[in-house]
Amino acid sequence: MKKKAKMKRSRIARRLGLHFTVQFFTIWLLVLAIVLISLFTIMYHIGNEQLKNDIPSEVLDSLSIETMIEDDSVELPSFWPGQLEQKGYWLQIVNESGREVYNLNVPEGVPEKYSASDLLRISDTRRLNEYQVTTLYEEILGDRNLYLLGWKDVDKTRLVEWYQRYSENGKVPESAAGTIDNKAKSIGVSLVVLDENGRIVQSFGLPSEHKTYGALALIEMSQQPAKSKIQVSYHYDPASQYTWLIERAREDAEPTNQPILRTMLIVLVIIGLAILLLSLSLAVWHGYRYGGPLLLFMRGFERMGRGEYDQVFTEKERMKIYSKKGRFRARYKLYHEVIAGFSEMADKLALARNERLRLEQSREEWMTGISHDLRTPLTTVQGYGHLLESGQFSWSEDELREVGSTIREKSTYMLELLQDFSLTFELKNHTPGEKLEPLELNEFVRRAVLRYVNDVTLQNVTFDFEESPTSLRILANPKWFQRLLDNLISNAVKHNPPGTEIRLSVMREGKLAVITVRDNGVGMDAETQSRLFTRYYRGTNTDAGVDGVGLGMSIAYAVVAALNGTITVESSINEGTMINLTFPIET
């Protein structure tokens, strides 16, 4: 036993050593992974910073670096299509013959092939139909391609339309001021008209954030839109030298870009914080992983201290310990011997507790039954005793004989009752298989029947017995089995009128021995049959003067169950009753 326990401790020690070694290397792998991911994040951040700035020329610069073109086959990283679509851009790549080799979000009306003059005009005017276009020429290893990045400036189109409809000498006349003011407000923009010096001479719609525009203000908004809180579309009238502007608040404005060194420093600080948080997380995780099972054991010991052996681990806790397939979860595999031993100890304690409670309950039932069923006959005996002791009455010989007979009958009844209770208690507190020995049925049943045949008090009852042609042996307790047959036979005698014929038979059916007790008496109704083996039930067809408290058939049922047999009843009113007993034959 000690050697086995020592081997178990050694096995647990090896498992713990391996477990913590694996965790040590896992932690460093996690740190290395975080460093690599952080470096990749830096590269990713730098590569996409230009896209966030929303400057078309810089977007094209970054895009061309990550785009692979080989023999008119274009491979664009998966990140770009979503970003370009979110910004409202479309992309077209044409080869040196002017033919399109790649397109993304290209709207209808954009040609798939261009001439040299078409591409030159687009590059100079930066427009294609109603779209603004930024171009980028690229030559790598002799392959020449042109990138066209286009977008539709809705405000620019609207601005040109307003100018053509409402302008007079480059300004908005008074007659149209209310109309254009309402239109500007309805779409959430400001419309301003600048003179040749950049001063605002007219303003409509939302209030403008500017009172005047410096010489480089519009250039800054155009070249560095990410630094501005507004986006501007303009239209210039050469004749009047007035400039119309639509100002719209920039929803996706980005903060000013930081220098690369500052960005690197911020990233390194983030990496350090991430490693610190990882260490703290691992510390908390270790405490949770190794402290959780200990807390679970403590709660289990508390329940065991309260005698709750059946619920040492609650259903919720068992779901934490075991998977749906009944296997230990990863967190508890380290303690599976401890948990198994803990559960085994709890089961043994629960079994001992249940056995103690069962014995106590049996004892209480036994005492309650005795006190209840002895009260009536004892009252009768006590009453006659008081009458005889008082000396107030003179008794004739016949009266004394009647009193003595009553006392004897009640005493006999109480003696039989005590025997019934004793046998009931014994049957409830002994497991099947105890005190059993081989029993030859033909001879045993014949002797049981002869005892009633030779009883001179049973003159008006006929008994018959039919034995099996072959010897039948079963495992049984002779005392229990004798009481079983006595209860069945006496029950048939008590509950039937004089002249009833009672027949017992023994036969073999396969591997079973069958004993049949049959009578041609009054029979039983359905309710009596259903409750025949219930303790203290005496039946609806029982005469009031018949002795008994309803333990006989419940004892018979308990004896049959203790011997691994079965008992069934078949009966009809005025057609008699047949009770069949079956037991496994001893081989």
pLDDT in tens, 562-577: 888 999 999 989 889 9
Helical packing angle, 2-53 and 336-390, nearest 10° = 120
Mean pLDDT of 91-115: 88
| One domain for residues 343 and 216 | no
**Phi and psi angles of residue 354, each rounded to the nearest 5 degrees, phi first:** -65, -40
Query: Over 60: is that where the pLDDT of 219 sits?
Result: yes
State the residue for tokens 């591409």: 119
Query: Over 50: is that where the pLDDT of 549 sits?
Result: no
Mean pLDDT of 443-461: 86
Domain boundary among 152, 171, 201: 152
| One domain for residues 190 and 237 | yes
For position 503, which CATH number holds?
3.30.565.10
Can you give the pTM of this predicted structure? 0.37
State the residue for tokens 């008082």: 390
Whole-number pLDDT of residue 508: 94
If DSSP codes are grouped into helix, strand and coil, which group holds residue 323? Answer: coil
Partnered with residue 224 across adjacent β-strands are: none
- Give a yes or no: residue 358 inside a domain: no
Alpha helices per DSSP H over 429-477: 441-453
Mean pLDDT of 179-192: 86
Helical packing angle, 260-305 and 336-390, nearest 10° = 30
| One domain for residues 163 and 138 | no
| One domain for residues 161 and 88 | no
Query: Over 60: is that where the pLDDT of 262 sits?
Result: no
Query: Over 50: is that where the pLDDT of 31 sits?
Result: yes
Mean pLDDT of 287-302: 71
| One domain for residues 314 and 280 | yes
- Domain residues for the domain of 140 are 54-152
Mean pLDDT of 287-305: 72
The CA radius of gyration of the chain, in Å to the nearest whole number, is: 53
- Give a yes or no: residue 414 inside a domain: no
Structure tokens at 451: 């005892």
- Give a yes or no: residue 25 inside a domain: no
Determine which of 152-161, 309-318, 530-539 has the lowest per-residue pLDDT on average.
530-539
- Give a yes or no: residue 396 inside a domain: no
Give the span between the Cα atoms of 161 and 130, in whole angstroms. 12
Query: Over 90: is that where the pLDDT of 127 sits?
Result: no
pLDDT band at residue 215 using 50, 70 and 90 as cut-offs = low
Alpha helices per DSSP H over 391-477: 397-428, 441-453
Give the span between the Cα atoms of 362 and 428, in whole angstroms. 8
Give the span between the Cα atoms of 252 and 247, in whole angstroms. 15
Structure tokens at 554: 């419940």
Give the span between the Cα atoms of 134 and 194, in whole angstroms. 26
If one compares 542 and 94, the residue with the highest pLDDT of the two is 94
Considering its fold, how many domains does the chain have in total? 4
The number of helix segments (H) and strand segments (E) in the chain equals: 15, 18
- Give a yes or no: residue 90 inside a domain: yes
Task: Please give the C-alpha separations between residue 577 and each of 483, 519, 542, in angstroms, as whole numbers.
Answer: 20, 5, 14
Domain boundary among 310, 326, 348: 348
- Give a yes or no: residue 18 inside a domain: no
Whole-number pLDDT of residue 261: 42
Give the span between the Cα atoms of 431 and 563, in whole angstroms. 10
Give the span between the Cα atoms of 428 and 554, in whole angstroms. 12
Structure tokens at 134: 């930024």
Query: Over 80: is that where the pLDDT of 4 sits?
Result: no
- Give a yes or no: residue 162 inside a domain: yes
| One domain for residues 438 and 577 | yes
Residue 326 one-letter amino acid: G
Q: What is the separation, in whole angstroms, between the first and last Cα of the chain?
A: 39
| One domain for residues 468 and 448 | yes
By DSSP bridging, strand 512-519 and strand 577-584 are antiparallel
Please choose, from the candidates 166, 167, 182, 193, the residue with its C-alpha nearest in 3D space to the C-alpha of residue 247. Answer: 193
- Give a yes or no: residue 391 inside a domain: no
| One domain for residues 162 and 139 | no
Mean pLDDT of 135-140: 86
Domain boundary among 191, 226, 249: 249
Give the span between the Cα atoms of 328 and 98, in whole angstroms. 67
Whole-number pLDDT of residue 35: 72
pLDDT in tens, 73-85: 888 777 778 778 8
Query: Over 90: is that where the pLDDT of 440 sits?
Result: yes
Alpha helices per DSSP H over 54-153: 56-66, 79-87, 116-125
Whole-number pLDDT of residue 541: 45
For position 115, which CATH number holds?
3.30.450
| One domain for residues 466 and 577 | yes
Query: Over 50: is that where the pLDDT of 449 sits?
Result: yes
- What mean pLDDT is reported for the chain? 77
By DSSP bridging, strand 89-95 and strand 100-104 are antiparallel
Question: Please, are residues 279 and 257 in contact by the beta-carbon 8 Å criterion?
Answer: no
Whole-number pLDDT of residue 292: 67
| One domain for residues 265 and 223 | no
Determine which of 249-263, 374-388, 408-422, 443-457 has the lowest per-residue pLDDT on average.
249-263
| One domain for residues 143 and 271 | no
Whole-number pLDDT of residue 169: 85
| One domain for residues 175 and 317 | no
